[in-house]
Amino acid sequence: MNVAGLRFACQAGCTRCCDAEGFVYLTEADLGRAAAFLGLTSEEFTARHVVRTRHRIRLRKPRGKQCSFLEAGGCAIHPAKPTQCRLFPFWPELVEKRRNWENTAKWCPGIHQGPLIQIGRALETADEMRKAYPYLYPEG
């Protein structure tokens, strides 16, 4: 995006991104961290919470909501939440396309709030997302 930076500050009490339509993907490290946080082995966590395909690991989606870890008080695994949750909204498809960033601002109340985050730093964060989930960003 041709701007100096982006403003963002996550808003206390908000959980809208956890309720947005989509899957929550995990890296192997995410899986291990979340399992340990809940006092489970990776195998136990996988059996209860994960759908694993050849290239992807994602959380199972419960009926009627987007994520089984979304509770009234917020994310039940907040200190060990998956990389994509931690990096939102600095995802490549949002940071690199102004229209997508502005569309996301319509439902994420943290966008356009808080300090100006230099565009270089925002792009570095987006790159972390690309590296964590290469199958979601096959072009690079």
Interface residue with ligand SF4, options 11, 41, 103, 118 (CB under 6 A): 11
10 in contact with ligand SF4 (CB under 6 A): yes
Output the six-digit token pair for 110.
Answer: 């943290």
- The residue among 68 and 137 lying less far from ligand SF4, judged by its C-beta, is 68
Interface residue with ligand SF4, options 25, 45, 69, 133 (CB under 6 A): 69
User: In sequence order, what DSSP letters do the residues of 82-126 get, joined into one string?
Assistant: -HHHHHTT--HHHHT-HHHHHHHHTT-TTEEEEEEEEHHHHHHHH
Q: Which one of 39-47, 90-98, 104-112, 130-138 is the stretch in contact with ligand SF4 (CB under 6 A)?
A: 104-112
- Main-chain dihedrals φ then ψ at residue 75, nearest 5 degrees: -80, 125
Nearest Cα to 93, choosing from 33, 61, 138?
A: 138
24 in contact with ligand SF4 (CB under 6 A): yes
Interface residue with ligand SF4, options 25, 45, 88, 133 (CB under 6 A): 88
Taking residue 47's Cβ as centre, other Cβ atoms within 10 Å add up to 10
Output the six-digit token pair for 115.
Answer: 């300090």
Interface residue with ligand SF4, options 33, 35, 81, 129 (CB under 6 A): 81
Return residues touching ligand SF4 (CB under 6 A). 10-11, 14-18, 24, 67, 69-70, 75, 77, 81-82, 85, 88-89, 108-110
